[in-house]
Structure 1
Amino acid sequence: MTAPLLSLTWTDHITGRQGFLVIDRLVRGVASGGLRMRRGCTPDEVAGLARGMTVKEALHYDPEARYVPLGGAKGGIDCDPRDPAAYGLLVRYLRAMRPYIEAFWTTGEDLGLTQDLVDRAAAEVGLVSSIQAVYPLLDDEAAARLRLADAFAVEVDGIGLGELVGGCGVAESALAALDRAGVPRAGTRVAVQGMGTMGGATARFLTRAGLTVVAVADVKGTIANPAGLDIDALLAARDAYGTVDRAALRPGDRELPGEAWLSVDAEVLVPAAVSYAVDTANQDRITARWIVEAANMPVVPEAEALLTARGVTVLPDVVVNSGTNAWWWWTLFGDIGADADEAFAYTRRSMRALTDLVLARAAADGSTPRAAAHAVAEDRLPLLAERFGSYR
């Protein structure tokens, strides 16, 4: 693996806390990757996420599409987003990173931050937008910006399209794997860690596809019901951080410890919260057949090796959760419009095709899905460099 193009550490002069930016690769002079805020965020974590963004972008390369993938990047701030000082820290970080955001880093919400909060802080430091570096690549900037704004204004059952489309992609990846294995949807049980944007939307789409979500976990613990949870009721009872109000639980719902989601009787596990959730110390509690990485880097490599050895398939984050990022660009560049049905249909087609491609490559190579995804990306990166030039 090559070193990133740029890696820097920023120290806040008021709190002494640190923030990081890693540009893994530029394509057409621009890199894409969100900004996360969590206590304990590290430079190595951000570098791994940036490399993952390079892979995600390359996996979605379609020479016939208007959207042409960008490079990969990531930002991170070492702070609990619930800390009263968090917003001021975010503003100062964006002010320090303003030259990079203006020139070549397009960013947005990630773990611990919402897009509304990023937009508010970006405006406060004088940025036109958190994705303004991509504007020079657009054929019609005004129309593209209006289309994306209209898309973010779309709601489905009271939930924003921007919050739902990523979960739609995660669910379709899981469904593609189940369908490929000949597993019926009815009777297939799912446990989801995290009820925020990604986890909540994934649970919603899997339930609507006929699967049974038997457990969800948030910061308060795990909620379980072997007969199935009322996902719509739990989604309606969430706060801004994805924590479910326990008053919404039904008589058959049980409250269990936080890590109980790992060992519940389920065929599919969806870690959709923090990185490094599955490690060598807890992986042996998992009895599921599939792990679907809705979060970024939730399974550490050593744990994945142990899981693979005992027949558990890990569908990697670089495939599974790439739909969120791609939806932004499909919309901005004009491959789809500001319409929920069109967005969901395009996301489903794209994510199913990508998942099928990666699983077929893994079967042909005798490798894991993660290795296959990286192999596909490595095949495509030279094509991007040949077409648009190399910045490395």
Structure 2
Amino acid sequence: MTAPLISLTWTDHVTGRQGFLVVDRLVRGVASGGLRMREGCTLDEVTGLARGMTMKEALHFDAEDPTVRYVPLGGAKGGIDCDPRDPGAYGVLVRFLRATRPYIEHFWTTGEDLGLTQDLVDSAAVEAGLVSTVQAIHPLLDDEEEARRRLADAFAVEVDGIGLDELVGGCGVAESVLAALDRAGTAYAGTRVSVQGLGTMGGATARFLSRAGLKIVAVADVRGTITHPDGLDVEALLAARDAYGTVDRSALRPEDREAPGDAWLSVDAEVLVPAAVSYAIDAGNQARITARWIVEAANMPVLAEAEELLARRGITVLPDVVVNSGTNAWWWWTLFGDIGPDADEAFAHTRRAMRGLIGRMLERADADGTTPRAAAHAIVADRLPVIALRYGRYR
């Protein structure tokens, strides 16, 4: 496996906390990838995530449509080993952004990821002296001022109390689920879903799936799992969560039940959506899963050994590099002007793109006799040389 272009470890001089930046590849001189903050984050984790970002960018590359303005970037990722609830976390974030400022100014475009919100990242970026966390891409824009205004307007859009920037990723995950159900001839009504994590991605996914007619029978947060076999009141749970996706239990209905934190794995459901931490499903706990599909809203939630064992049991894993790629793509569709700052347009574009990606991946998996993840990797392997030939690997 090719080593990343750049890999660095930063140590905070105040707290001793460590942060990491990995640039897997540059395309047109720029790489894209969010910044996460969690206790226990490692360089290996960030390296894997950066490689995944290279794949997500390649999967959204359309070499045939000359009208598309967004063309792929390289892949990168940042991570900070710190609990985002720690009172000193914001200071660590500001100092990390200040230390990595030259990279952000010139070739690393970043934004919110696990443990952080975009508002928090933007506030810290201003304190760190940055114009924007995506300023490295500004030289590639036809009209920087108009593009920045368009993105700002898009971030100001809310739908039923939730920001468009939070919703587009969940829209993409939900559409991945629906595409898989359609391909299998499975009706939406009555299909049960268990979601781990009710933060940005998990919450939006639960909303879209619920509104499509599926039953969200379990959601898990740091306090445990909330279940109901006939379906939870998703909107009430979303309204009762805090900034970290933890649900206020006083909002539960009398018929809702609380269970241990890992109960989401074994709930009777056709679909599991891990939408929280990496490495959530391993070789041991995968044996508890009876769902037909696992749809990776989080980054790297299923370990490789677990996925192999799941495949032997006929359980399909739809991989993160496809499923949760909608958020990243939406940023660039909007900034480059393929779509405007409009929710309906964003959702329609996201649904079309995700339908196409899921369809190509599953067709390739069937043709090659492989897993969806292997098929996605094969598609990327076909596209990266084309991207390198057209745009170069480092420039």
TM-score range with shorter-chain normalisation? over 0.9
Match of 1:90 in 2: 93
Match of 2:153 in 1: 150
Matches within 5 A, 1:111-150: 111-150=114-153
2:331 maps to amino acid: W
What's the CA shift for 1:47? 0.1
Matches within 5 A, 1:252-267: 252-267=255-270
The answer to whether the 8 Å contact 2:7/2:23 transfers is: yes
Match of 1:372 in 2: 375
Matches within 5 A, 1:87-236: 87-236=90-239
Identity of aligned residues (%): 81
Where do 5+ consecutive residues of structure 2 fail to align? none
What's the CA shift for 1:271? 0.2
Match of 2:309 in 1: 306
Q: TM-score, normalised to structure 2's length? A: 0.99
What's the CA shift for 1:389? 1.5
What's the CA shift for 1:361? 0.4
What's the CA shift for 1:125? 1.2
Q: TM-score, normalised to structure 1's length? A: 0.99
Match of 2:27 in 1: 27
CA distance in 1, matches of 2:15, 2:162: 35
2:47 maps to amino acid: A
After the TM superposition, list the runs of 4 or more consecutive aligned residues in structure 1 that deviate by more than 3 angstroms.
none
2:377 maps to amino acid: H
Q: Does 1:339 align with 2:342?
A: yes
Q: Does 1:269 align with 2:280?
A: no
CA distance in 2, matches of 1:118, 1:391: 27
What's the CA shift for 1:89? 0.4
Match of 1:43 in 2: 43
2:175 maps to amino acid: E
Q: What count of residue pairs does the alignment treat as equivalent? A: 392
RMSD, matched Cα: 0.7
Where do 5+ consecutive residues of structure 1 fail to align? none
Q: Does 1:297 align with 2:284?
A: no
CA distance in 1, matches of 2:14, 2:346: 43
1:293 maps to amino acid: E
CA distance in 2, matches of 1:263, 1:388: 46
CA distance in 1, matches of 2:255, 2:318: 31
Matches within 5 A, 1:309-320: 309-320=312-323
CA distance in 1, matches of 2:222, 2:160: 25
CA distance in 2, matches of 1:41, 1:337: 35
Q: Does 1:12 align with 2:12?
A: yes
CA distance in 2, matches of 1:300, 1:148: 35
Match of 1:57 in 2: 57
What's the CA shift for 1:390? 2.2
| The one of 346, 362, 365 aligned to 2:365 | 362
CA distance in 2, matches of 1:9, 1:242: 29
Match of 2:74 in 1: 71
1:250 maps to amino acid: R
Match of 2:386 in 1: 383
3-state DSSP of counterpart to 1:214: strand
